[in-house]
A and B are shown apart, each in its own frame.
Chain A
Amino acid sequence: MKTRVLGVAGLLAVIGAAFFGLFVVPADLNQGDAQRIMYVHVASAWIAYLSFGVTAMAGLGYLWRRDLRLDAIALAGAEVGVMFTAFAIWGGMMWGRPVWGVFWQWEDPRLTTTALLLALYLGYLLLRRLSEDPARRATRAAIVGLVAAVDIPIVHFSVIWWRGLHQGPTIGSPDKLLHPSAPLQFVAALLLMLGAFTLVWSYFMIRRYQLARIEWQIEEHGRVGRISAARRAAFGAPAEEPIR
């Protein structure tokens, strides 16, 4: 099956990219080995944004077309996106501790934006879990996914201005430390990891979509069963409207 090939390709690509980033590329003169974390950290973040972009577009598509398959794509994007967002935050913290001396710094716009991203889409997933009717669930999710997506650029600008206008001393100016000593190889390592993650992401999206479709079918079967059972029990009287 083609998807299985994609999965294997992704696995090999990740191993290759990790090997390149960990053992082939030299350590940074300023940041030392901690620089290597950037490859997985930045790649995770980009994939998360990609994933949430898909969620927003698929949700928009659902509002337009009412096709639940689009909703399944949106769900896949959100779940996979949340995972990569968590990775990005973890990577950012593991990089921050050796480089800044602290795990968290409010002045780093990327870290704060990513934390908000996680909160937004965990809320999205929770919203889906608390809605039972598939159509309402899909509508609500689409709207929340859309609002979250348009909020992100606003958040991005606001936290950048937040830092830019702050005039106090910083622990270790993040900008200075982001200028690497061997740009070409570092960029290559980053792009390699990004490519590998993209393959892995595509594989996850396909599988999660397939899972969502089957789970929906099972859910539908359960609903039909409950409705007809209730009908039988009440001799034709309509079942009470459940919370939607």
Chain B
Amino acid sequence: MSQLARHATVALAIARKDALSELRGRQASGSTLFFAALVLLLFGFALGPDSQRLSEAAPGLLWLAIVFGGLLTVARLHQLEAEDGAFEQLALYPVDRRAIFAGKALAASTAMLVLGGLLLPVVAILYALPIGAAWLALIATVVLGAIGFAAVGTAYAALTVRMRAREVMLPLLMLPIVAPLLLAAVKATAAALTGDPFGELGSWLQLLAGFDVVMLVVGAGTYGFLLEE
């Protein structure tokens, strides 16, 4: 088996393991979705009741909800292993660390994709958004945003999971890093929903893709150091 195929097998195995534990521990992932939806609801109370204003703010509110839910998601995907001491075992396997990172990041991306995908209809209903023809662009935005967030989140979750004050350290470290991702995702979402009047959708998606590539590379390169602690 070629090296690449071997790495891919490892990554998929790890992603599959995480996905199974997510599905089995359904309360945890369901609770995160519930929390994110609640955030959206509460934004309505905070910024409403003017529907016009809420519609305009909707892309930003959607992505804030995704980010908050995402923080819980990536933390959860590392917590189980930390509690069982599985981290140390993972470090003992003679597999390329980058494959392990790829697997964990894939699991996190998928979880966030599901989160974002399920929040889209919630936002559409609460803030009266005509999604219609924009659905493809919206999916693309959510995919790229999910991957970028998952890349940083996987690395930082592994970094903070055995620290004191980990609950606040993960958001504290992550939020400034994902600021450009948030900015670009919101602009792309808004552009998609309004029919892209200035032709900026492509640029924002490119920025997201660039962010994803950079963070995936750095995350994969440094994950091994975090396992070896």
Contact = CB atoms under 8 A, between A and B. Distances in A.
Contacts of B180: 151, 154-155, 157-159
B49 interface: no
A146 B173 contact: no
A151 B163 CA distance: 23
Contacts of B218: 146-147, 150
Contacts of A139: 225-226, 229
Given A63-B225, A139-B225, A157-B207, A130 B177 contact: no
Contacts of A123: 172-173, 176
Contacts of B17: none
Interface residues of A, number: 32
A9 to B, nearest CB: 35
Highest count of chain A CB atoms <10 Å: which of B169, B172, B222, B229? B222
A154 B229 contact: no
Interface stretch (B69-77, B113-121, B139-147, B208-216): B208-216
B203 A144 contact: no
Interface residues of B, number: 33
Nearest to A165: B200
Interface in B182-209: 183-184, 187, 198, 200, 203-204, 207
B165 interface: yes
B64 interface: no
Contacts of B159: 140, 143-144
A58 to B, nearest CB: 15
Contacts, number: 88
A167 B214 CA distance: 30
Highest count of chain A CB atoms <10 Å: which of B164, B179, B207, B226? B179
B162 A126 contact: no
Interface in A107-148: 116, 119-120, 123, 126-127, 130-131, 135-136, 139-140, 142-144, 146-148
Nearest to B223: A143
A65 interface: no
A161 interface: yes
Contact of A136 (B177, B179, B183, B229): B229
B222 A131 contact: no
A243 interface: yes
B225 A143 contact: yes
A19 interface: no
A162 interface: yes
A167 B197 CA distance: 12
Contacts of A162: 183, 187
A6 B176 CA distance: 35
14 contacts: A63-B225, A116-B176, A116-B179, A120-B177, A139-B226, A147-B155, A150-B218, A154-B207, A154-B214, A158-B183, A158-B184, A161-B204, A165-B200, A243-B162
Interface of B: 152, 155-156, 159, 162-165, 169, 172-173, 175-177, 179-180, 183-184, 187, 198, 200, 203-204, 207, 210-211, 214-215, 218, 222, 225-226, 229
Closest 5 CB pairs of A and B: A158-B180, A119-B176, A120-B176, A143-B222, A154-B180
